[in-house]
Amino acid sequence: MMTNDLIPSLYIAAGTAVTGFGSTMPFGTGSLTELTAVYNESGADGLLLFDLSDTDASHDLSISRIKEVCALAQMPVMAAGRVNRVEDVKKLLYAGCAKAILNGSKETNMAFLAEVSKRFGRDKIGVCISRKEDYDRHREEIEAYAGLILMLSPVEGLTEATSVPVMTCTLAESEEEVMAILAQQRLAGVTGPYLSRTDVKLSELKLRASEAGISMNVMVSAVPWSEFKVTENGLMNVVVQDYQTGEVLMVAWMNEESYNRTLMTGKMTYYSRSRQELWLKGETSGHYQYVKSLAVDCDRDAILARVDQIGAACHTGNRSCFFTPLAEKPCDDTDPTRVFTSVYDVIMDRKAHPKEGSYTNYLFDKGIDKILKKVGEENTEIIIAAKNPDPEEIKYEISDYLYHLMVLMAERGVTWDDVTRELARR
Domain segments of the chain as ranges: 9-211, 225-309, 336-425
Rounded percentage of the chain residues whose pLDDT exceeds 90: 55
Q: Residue 2 pLDDT > 60, yes or no? A: no
Q: How confident is the model at residue 19 (pLDDT cuts 50, 70, 90)?
A: very low
When pLDDT is averaged across residues 79-93 and rounded to a whole number, the result is 93
pLDDT at position 206: 86
pLDDT tens for each residue of 210-231: 888 888 888 889 999 999 999 9
Answer yes or no: are the C-beta atoms of 384 and 396 closer than 8 Å: no
What letter does residue 36 receive in the DSSP assignment? H
pLDDT at position 31: 61
When pLDDT is averaged across residues 336-351 and rounded to a whole number, the result is 89
Answer yes or no: are the C-beta atoms of 24 and 58 closer than 8 Å: no
- State how far the Cα of 142 lies from the Cα of 294, in Å rounded to an integer: 37
Q: What is the CATH number of domain 9-211?
A: 3.20.20.70
CATH topology for the 225-309 domain: Ubiquitin-like (UB roll) (3.10.20)
Same fold for the pair 9-211 and 336-425: no
When pLDDT is averaged across residues 309-326 and rounded to a whole number, the result is 93
pLDDT tens for each residue of 241-272: 999 888 999 999 999 999 999 998 889 999 99
pLDDT tens for each residue of 374-424: 999 999 999 999 988 777 889 889 999 999 999 999 999 999 888 887 777
pLDDT at position 425: 66
When pLDDT is averaged across residues 335-343 and rounded to a whole number, the result is 83
Q: Residue 291 pLDDT > 70, yes or no? A: yes
Rounded percentage of the chain residues whose pLDDT exceeds 70: 92
The residue type at 123: D
Helix (H, G, I), strand (E, B) or coil at 238: strand
pLDDT at position 268: 96
When pLDDT is averaged across residues 188-206 and rounded to a whole number, the result is 87
pLDDT at position 83: 92
Answer yes or no: are the C-beta atoms of 167 and 187 closer than 8 Å: yes
Please state, in angstroms and as integers, the Cα–Cα distance from residue 191 to each residue in 11, 153, 186, 272, following that order. Answer: 5, 11, 14, 36
pLDDT at position 143: 96
Q: Looking only at Cα atoms, what is the longest distance across the chain?
A: 72
What lies within 8 Å, CB to CB, of 101 at 6+ separation is 78, 79, 80, 81, 83, 125, 126, 127, 128, 148, 150
Q: Of residues 125 and 186, which shows the higher confidence score?
A: 125
pLDDT at position 419: 86
Q: Residue 5 pLDDT > 60, yes or no? A: no
pLDDT tens for each residue of 345-384: 999 999 999 999 999 999 999 999 999 999 999 999 999 9
Answer yes or no: are the C-beta atoms of 74 and 40 closer than 8 Å: yes
Pick the CATH number of 336-425 from 1.50.10.20, 1.10.287.1080, 1.10.3720.10, 3.40.50.2300: 1.10.287.1080
- State how far the Cα of 35 lies from the Cα of 41, in Å rounded to an integer: 10
pLDDT at position 374: 96
Neighbours of 47 (CB within 10 A): 29
